[in-house]
């Protein structure tokens, strides 16, 4: 009798679903947003090693895309000119494949967390060869497995000019098309992105557009622009985010939100006359919520995420992926930047891995859309 009731309940569930996928639990980000864009998270080393089974289960339940937060940066994956270390990246890719996830590679050419041997090269041919070897070895190894790459990361200054790096110094701006060309030659089907922060700022946005156009004019493929999305409770405005999405999309490329988090703490740069070198570490003013986030800020935070996702949904035809920069508040880089040892609350899951009101605010947005 008990079994009969169970079978009937399952059958009822099935006949009430238009499609078999609807039987899956609806209360996850990836099931809620499955028709809109990939929803991703950055994974740290411990998560890639699957050290905590609860976190592992949460990641596969909520997200259908992953990015490695650090392990694929050149200082880790290519620490010496003649040696690569693929151990953790192999695990990361296997984990993504096992869970049928969209796997994003971060990052091939970046001046920061750079393998030190790159900076020793002063000859342009030698550096071009080193970049080719670096990109083709890494992209080639994961050909057909890694779905998109940040080919170049953070090449721009805030005024839209090119950042002074070892790459610019030795090769001039040719290093940019060169990097995209090598990545394409290694895997013609993976998506190739330029990724940067403050991509909503007008001067930087114009610089990014000029840069992408110059690469495209050479007949070299760029598939997308990554707007990192390290944003605050107030800034950037929804209007500036929207203008940026539209301007980038008008280049004929996809837009991805690649490193989303909302910083709720005061910034030393916002203080009038603040000296950035001042020691704020023990300052209550700069670390105002060491125990928990007050309800008023939690509400503001949830509303901010809801407004942002409302915009993403409006432009879902232009946005391929939205990735959070971490799973939960405890792991966020924003606990240590720009001031070490603060307690920040930038993500959708709290330190106990519980979904916050902001999580519900995103789900609610979609449920409302469905009922309209």
Shortest Cβ 280–ligand G3I spacing (Å): 17
Which stretch of DSSP H or E encloses residue 40? strand 38-43
Output the smallest distance, CB 76 to ligand G3I, in A: 8
Place of tokens 């880089």: 333
- Taking alpha carbons only, the member of 300, 323, 313 closest to residue 366 is 313
Min CB(13)–ligand G3I separation in Å: 41
Query: What are the C-alpha distances in Å from 259 to residues 56, 273, 334?
Result: 20, 30, 12
**Can the peptide bond before residue 338 be classed as cis, meaning omega within 30 degrees of 0?**
yes
Q: What is the DSSP letter of 321?
A: E
Q: What is the CA radius of gyration of the chain?
A: 22
Residues recognised as catalytic:
154, 259
Q: Which is nearer to ligand G3I, 112 or 369 (CB)?
A: 112
| Closer to ligand G3I by Cβ: residue 317 or 336 | 336
Least separation in angstroms between residue 191's CB and ligand G3I is 18
Cβ distance to ligand G3I smaller for residue 65 or 228: 228
Among 52, 113, 129, 237, binds ligand G3I (CB under 6 A): 113
Distance CA 151, CA 186 (A): 12
Q: Considering the complex, what minimum distance in angstroms separates the CB of residue 125 from ligand G3I?
A: 29
Q: Is there binding between residue 112 and ligand G3I (CB under 6 A)?
A: yes
From the CB of 260, what's the least distance to ligand G3I, in Å?
11
Q: Which C-beta is closer to ligand G3I: that of 60 or that of 228?
A: 228
Whether the Cβ atoms of residue 309 and residue 262 lie closer than 8 Å to each other? no
* Residue selected from 62, 69, 247, 329 as contacting ligand G3I according to rule CB under 6 A: 69
Give the integer Cα–Cα distance in Å for 157 and 137.
29
Nearer to ligand G3I, 123 or 336 (CB): 336
Judged by CB under 6 A, the chain residues 302 through 361 that form the site for ligand G3I are: 333
Separation CA 262–CA 305 (nearest Å): 8
Residue closest to ligand G3I, measured at CB: 333
The interface with ligand G3I within residues 184-203 (CB under 6 A) comprises 197
User: Please, which residue, 28 or 344, has the CB nearer to ligand G3I?
Assistant: 344
Residue partners of 245: CB distance under 8 A and separation at least 6: 227, 255, 311, 315, 318, 319
Residues 220-249 that bind ligand G3I (CB under 6 A): 228
Greatest Cα-to-Cα distance within the chain, rounded to the nearest angstrom:
80
The answer to whether residues 149 and 190 touch, using CB atoms and an 8 Å cutoff, is yes
Selected binder of ligand G3I within 34, 49, 61, 70 (CB under 6 A) = 70
Q: Shortest gap between Cβ of 154 and ligand G3I (angstroms)?
A: 7
* Percent composition of the chain: helix, strand, coil (DSSP 3-state, to 5): 45, 15, 40
Q: Indicate the helix (H) or strand (E) that contains 260.
A: strand 254-263
Question: Residue 30 — φ and ψ, nearest 5°?
Answer: -70, -35
Helices (H), 172-237: 175-186, 202-217
Residue number with CB closer to ligand G3I (150 or 191) = 150
Residues that bind ligand G3I (CB under 6 A): 69-70, 112-113, 197, 228, 259, 333
């Amino acid at each position: 009798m008990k079994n009969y009731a169970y079978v009937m309940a399952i059958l009822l569930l099935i006949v009430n679903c238009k499609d078999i996928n609807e039987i899956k639990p609806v209360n996850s980000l990836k099931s809620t947003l499955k028709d809109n864009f990939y929803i991703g998270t950055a994974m740290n080393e411990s998560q890639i090693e699957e050290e905590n089974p609860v976190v592992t289960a949460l990641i596969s339940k909520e997200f259908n895309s992953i990015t490695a937060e650090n392990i694929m940066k050149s200082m880790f994956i290519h620490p010496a000119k003649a040696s690569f270390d693929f151990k953790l990246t192999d695990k990361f890719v296997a984990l993504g494949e096992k869970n049928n996830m969209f796997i994003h590679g971060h990052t091939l050419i970046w001046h920061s967390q750079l393998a030190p041997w790159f900076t020793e090269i002063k000859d342009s041919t030698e550096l071009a060869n080193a970049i080719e070897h670096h990109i083709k070895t890494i992209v080639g190894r994961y050909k057909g497995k890694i779905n998109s790459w940040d080919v170049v990361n953070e090449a721009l200054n805030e005024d839209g000019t090119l950042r002074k790096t070892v790459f610019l110094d030795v090769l001039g701006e040719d290093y940019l098309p060169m990097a995209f060309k090598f990545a394409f030659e290694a895997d013609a089907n993976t998506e190739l992105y330029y990724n940067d922060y403050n991509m909503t700022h007008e001067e930087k946005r114009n610089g990014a557009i000029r840069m992408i156009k110059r690469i495209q004019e050479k007949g070299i493929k760029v598939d997308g622009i990554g707007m990192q999305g390290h944003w605050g409770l107030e800034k950037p405005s929804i209007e500036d985010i929207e203008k940026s999405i539209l301007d980038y999309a008008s280049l004929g490329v996809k837009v991805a939100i690649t490193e989303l988090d909302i910083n709720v703490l005061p910034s030393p740069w916002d203080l009038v006359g603040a000296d950035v070198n001042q020691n704020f570490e023990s300052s209550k003013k700069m670390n105002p919520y060491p125990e928990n986030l007050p309800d008023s800020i939690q509400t503001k935070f949830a509303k901010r995420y809801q407004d942002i996702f409302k915009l993403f949904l409006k432009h879902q035809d232009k946005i391929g992926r939205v990735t959070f920069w971490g799973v939960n508040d405890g792991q966020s880089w924003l606990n240590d930047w720009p001031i070490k040892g603060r307690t920040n609350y930038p993500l959708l899951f709290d330190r106990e891995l519980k979904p916050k009101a902001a999580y519900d605010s995103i789900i609610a947005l979609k449920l409302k859309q469905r009922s309209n």
